[in-house]
Amino acid sequence: MLTTAGEGDVLTVPDATITVRIQGKSTGGAYELFEVDAPRGEAAPPHRTPWPKAYYVLHGRMAVFLDGELFDLSPGDAITIPPNASHTFTVHTPSVQFLAFAVGEAMGAFFRDLSGNGMEALGRHGVTQ
């Protein structure tokens, strides 16, 4: 399935705007792809998600805190986040844009619930601190 520039569901979550670029239903539930635009500052507090994912930075700079280590990411850098690893990110430039790849369909379901219902969505999707 093709998603062209400007297409995709746009979701607003507390720390970013997320555009769904490839839905899990288009991949038989194998993976999803999101374009994340986040403003300067800290994102959510460190948390754990039950799904694996990877980030690939398109523009801007961000620091990813992953299981006690800090990684500085610039355009072209990528990082993998294993399931249940403690993680968060901080944006160091006016904004950052990155791709988030996730295995399965859980991350998309979480983003949709978070966008519509706020922080009460955390527990329903196995997101813990």
**Would residue 73 count as lying in a domain?**
yes
* Residue 29 resides in a domain: yes
- pLDDT over 90, % of the chain: 81
Q: Per-residue pLDDT for 48 more than 80? A: yes
Which CATH number goes with the domain that contains 61? Answer: 2.60.120.10
pLDDT value at 1 more than 80: no
For residues 6, 12, 18, 19, the Cα torsion angle rounded to the nearest 10 degrees is: -30
Range of the structural domain that residue 46 is part of: 10-125
Is residue 1, in this structure, part of any structural domain at all? no
Residue at 4 is within a domain: no
2 lies in a domain? no
**pLDDT tens-digit readout, 63-80:** 999 999 999 999 999 999
Domain count, the chain: 1
Q: Do the beta carbons of residue 78 and residue 66 sit within 8 Å?
A: no
In a domain, 5, yes or no: no
- The answer to whether residue 112 is domain-embedded is yes
Residue 51 lies in a domain: yes
pLDDT score at 44: 82
Does residue 6 carry a pLDDT above 80?
no
CA distance 37 to 28: 26
| pLDDT tens digits along 87-108 | 999 999 999 999 999 999 999 9
- What 8-state DSSP symbol labels residue 25? G
